[in-house]
Amino acid sequence: MSAKISKPIIGISIGDINGIGAEVTMKALQDNRTYKNFTPLIYGHGKALSYYRKLLSMEDFNFVQIRSLDEIQHKRVNVINAVEECPEIIPGVETQEAGKMALEALKMAVEDLKAGNIQALVTAPLNKNNINSEDLKFVGHTEFLTEAVGAKKSLMFMVAEQLRVGLVTGHIPLSKVAQTVTGEKIKEKANLMLQSLEKDFGIAKPKIAILGLNPHAGEDGLLGEEEEKVIRPAINELKDQNKLVFGPYPSDGFFGMVHQSKFDGILAMYHDQGLIPFKSIAFSNGVNFTAGLPVIRTSPDHGTAYNIAGKNLADEGSMRAAIYLASDIIQYHESLVEEE
């Protein structure tokens, strides 16, 4: 096992420079107390941060430009250029150049993450539309990271202090959800959630709820058979392995009756089933955590928000929570190493 890292480096990929990524990152890092436990390294371009510092009247936001990680300065915000020339910055406008830079920043950060040069990665929001091309199908950060680190499986895990929601299926069309929800997939994602709750959040004997797929959880087969034929058998198999899993629950009643407070995690069958209640309850401090990877990656739970980009209206709460969660997980992992 490696020794404790004296000052972990948390990388932050800047995302789309025409969105709110730079703004929420700068605002989240304004408090110098955040550097007590880690050193921030932004993958983007110094000119982009200088642009937004002036536009948003954030003269007290300071950073140091570095060319390699050998030059990193602790107790400072470090910035490394992911591209040689910064594209033109047009807040609120989708451009191909901004998409290319977002992708290059992400790739550069992921390479350093894989190499162990940084101890965690926080990804600011980007726009899939100006990244996708004939050569690249970018579905989302979760899928990109999973493939990049050579992992066979991962879990999109939305995390807040009062709520944790994972997804059986992620960025796929709703028309393909039912055929993708299999017993094996449910058991895989449930086990990833249980392992993460123990390994990353320090919860002994975690207890999770599994939602149904159909309205009213199928109502005994009247509104669909997936609960009885797929979901319930998977839950029973997990129970036979002494896992604390319960369900399937109708999602509307589950959240309407505030049952989420009784569980350490909730496993939803598809994207909107899990993310609509999550963002309704915890949008200002919610974090997207990719569980099941050999590396730590978090992100805010919002997108590029072009409509408010450059207007000094973006709330940095989710980005700050993403950075703090990455730092907390690093520290928890280090404490486990020390105990060994």
Least confident of 7-21, 71-85, 209-223, 289-303: 209-223
For 169, 186, 270, the CA distances from 180, given in Å and listed in that order, are: 7, 10, 10
Residue 162 reports pLDDT greater than 70? yes
Cβ atoms of 61 and 29 closer than 8 Å: yes
> β-strand 207-211 against 297-300: which pairing, if any?
unpaired
Supply the DSSP string of 296-331, one letter for each residue: -EEEESS---GGGTTTT----HHHHHHHHHHHHHHH
pLDDT-based confidence at 1, cuts 50/70/90? very low
Residue 3 reports pLDDT greater than 80? no
pLDDT of residue 208: 98
User: What CATH architecture is 154-291?
Assistant: 3-Layer(aba) Sandwich (3.40)
Mean pLDDT within 193-207? 97
Cβ atoms of 20 and 126 closer than 8 Å: no
Residue type, 45: H
pLDDT of residue 141: 93
Residue 27 reports pLDDT greater than 50? yes
Q: What is the DSSP letter of 68?
A: S
Mean pLDDT within 57-74? 95
Residue 4 reports pLDDT greater than 50? no
- State percent of the chain over pLDDT 70: 98
Residue 284 reports pLDDT greater than 90? no
Which ranges constitute the DSSP H helices of 15-136? 21-28, 46-55, 96-115
Question: Do 1-151+293-340 and 154-291 have matching folds?
Answer: yes
Tens digits of residue pLDDT in 218-256: 788 888 899 999 999 999 999 999 999 999 999 999 999
Residue 74 reports pLDDT greater than 70? yes
Average pLDDT of the chain to the nearest whole number: 94
Mean pLDDT within 64-88? 96
The Cα–Cα gap between 303 and 131 comes to 14
Mean pLDDT within 327-337? 91
For the chain, the structural domain boundaries read: 1-151+293-340, 154-291
CB-count exposure of residue 253 (10 Å: 0-12, 13-18, 19+) = exposed
pLDDT-based confidence at 340, cuts 50/70/90? low
Tens digits of residue pLDDT in 108-121: 999 999 999 999 99
The Cα–Cα gap between 79 and 73 comes to 10
> What CATH class is the domain 1-151+293-340?
alpha beta
Residue 57 reports pLDDT greater than 60? yes
Q: pTM, whole model, 2 decimals?
A: 0.92
